[in-house]
A and B are shown apart, each in its own frame.
Chain A
Amino acid sequence: MSGTATNGRRVVVTGIGVVSPLAVGAELTWKRLIEGQSGIGRITHFDPSDLPAQVAGQVPDGPTAEGGLTLSDWVPVKDQKKMDRFIHLGLAAAIQAVEDSGWKPEDEDDRCATGVMIGSGIGGLQTIYDGSLTVSSGKARRLSPFFIPSALINLISGHLSIRYGFKGPNHAVVTACATGVHAIGDASRLIQHGDADVMIAGGAEAAICSLGIAGFCSARALSTGSNDDPTKASRPWDKDRDGFIMGEGAGVVVLEELEHAKRRGAKIYGEIGGYGMSGDAHHITAPAEGHEGAFRAMKAALRNSGGLTTADIDYVNAHGTSTMADDLELDAVERFFGEDAKRLVMSSTKSAIGHLLGAAGAVEAIFCLQAIRDGVVPPTLNLDNPARESVIDRVAHVAQQRKIDVALSNSFGFGGTNASIILKRFKD
């Protein structure tokens, strides 16, 4: 197997949108990220006192101009209660990306050539929780008619298409923490295969609610040892790491067929350079030995890259969740890059924003594009004492100035699903 049926169609990114614990806005999030700020704090969405994990990365409220979330700037007040928070956050990121791209379909052909693929790992968990309380209190007939469409994962794609009249493929990915990468990768293939010329793609998550935190606590996945020092909680590869920190937010990109983008003079952030997937066939929550699934996903991404080699890749944005699996990913990356690992830099931005689950891969792909654009590698916060040494520079504590032409981002999800995506500098 080699190459893909791309019909020579190249896919570039022409718009970005981010909602993160650092800020609402792709550029403000990036600025704070490379300054080394942390978006992790004590949970305020609900009282977490009864739970072992009490910190998370929550999207800050506040004026839009200051990077806070003012929901009415994104979703009309009368529609807000018809959507779970994950849809709110997804729409806020998607609207940013669409406006940033400047793409406005003028006629029916344009509208039909523009699709949406925005997913989520979990969907409307708080809505489902609230709805179940209504039913269990004997008020099943009072359940809102908006209960189902508020909780459904594909409704970000639905709402966005209605808002802008995008009549192309309307789809949503659900692959746990690999959702964001799968959405961008699969959507770019729809463009390569001619199903669309423009795809709005990414992921959103809002699972910082009692049910979400309690569930991941029971699975022993969350950090519980830094409740009194939240900004130190997320510490990928560090010997004192003790679980991931839940984050919320959304990342959305506008993907566009290259000639389409050039014809309208669009600004180009970078090109989709490769995309690969694999399954572990091993365990529902733990990666396979040596993270060989990660290895195969990276290998598949390179195979689909049109001739790139490991020597071409300058930066890896790791899955690096601040769990025991960090070192397994490190094993796989070292093995995959071989001698080229010595010149590689790799960081985990989850150290600053936590793990955005279904949004993580999309937000991190955007960080890769910003790293390529600005020649800055974001840091891994709290990497005080690496649990194990590596020839790979993991960008501890502070950002690095460095020319990045090609970046690779990894995302792995429960169920044993792995995805890697390559972003590269656009060269005509």
Chain B
Amino acid sequence: MSDIADKVKKIVVEHLGVDESKVTPDASFIDDLGADSLDTVELVMAFEEAFSVEIPEDAAEKIATVKDAIDYIEKQKAA
């Protein structure tokens, strides 16, 4: 697993208070990890802060799973 994936996972565990084993790549923040719409806003902010990236609102709306987040951030970092 990449450093980015590790860090994303850690942020998700911390912000949503879920067990690490539940944070699989396909896990949906809302359907599987108990987040509500405000939680996802806060998560995206935490990703922005941790990775020094800007995640515009239209992009943020498409980040529904752990893998979505990792892919988006990796793409930004590679650019």
Contact = CB atoms under 8 A, between A and B. Distances in A.
B45 interface: yes
A76 interface: yes
Contacts of A76: 17
Interface stretch (A138-146, A174-182, A333-341): A138-146
Contact of B42 (A77, A79, A144): A144
B59 interface: no
Secondary structure class of chain A's binding surface, majority of residues: helix
B22 to A, nearest CB: 13
B57 to A, nearest CB: 11
A142 B44 CA distance: 10
Contacts of B18: 78
Nearest to B48: A142
B30 interface: no
B16 A144 contact: no
21 contacts: A76-B17, A77-B17, A78-B15, A78-B16, A78-B17, A78-B18, A79-B17, A82-B38, A141-B45, A142-B45, A142-B48, A142-B49, A144-B42, A144-B45, A145-B38, A145-B41, A145-B42, A145-B45, A146-B38, A146-B42, A149-B38
Contacts of B17: 76-79
Interface string A131-169: 000000000011011100100000000000000000000
Contacts, number: 21
A76 B34 CA distance: 13
A167 B41 CA distance: 28
Interface in B15-67: 15-18, 38, 41-42, 45, 48-49
A280 B32 CA distance: 55
Contacts of A145: 38, 41-42, 45
Secondary structure class of chain B's binding surface, majority of residues: helix
Contacts of B48: 142
Interface string A338-377: 0000000000000000000000000000000000000000
Contacts of B45: 141-142, 144-145
Interface in A38-93: 76-79, 82
A146 B42 CA distance: 8
A79 B39 CA distance: 10
Contacts of A142: 45, 48-49
A411 to B, nearest CB: 35
B67 to A, nearest CB: 22
Contacts of A144: 42, 45
A141 B44 CA distance: 11
B42 to A, nearest CB: 5
A141 B45 CA distance: 8
B32 to A, nearest CB: 15
Interface string A98-139: 000000000000000000000000000000000000000000
Q: Please indicate which of the listed interface residues B15, B18, B45 has the most CB atoms of chain A within 10 Å of its own CB.
A: B45
Nearest to A148: B38
Nearest to A149: B38
Contacts of A77: 17
Nearest to B35: A78
Given A76-B17, A78-B18, 19 more contacts: A77-B17, A78-B15, A78-B16, A78-B17, A79-B17, A82-B38, A141-B45, A142-B45, A142-B48, A142-B49, A144-B42, A144-B45, A145-B38, A145-B41, A145-B42, A145-B45, A146-B38, A146-B42, A149-B38
A79 to B, nearest CB: 8
Contacts of A78: 15-18
Q: Please indicate which of the listed interface residues A78, A141, A142 has the most CB atoms of chain B within 10 Å of its own CB.
A: A78
B53 to A, nearest CB: 13
Nearest to A139: B49
The 9 closest A-B pairs by CB, nearest first: A78-B17, A145-B41, A145-B38, A77-B17, A145-B42, A142-B45, A144-B42, A78-B16, A146-B38
Contacts of B16: 78
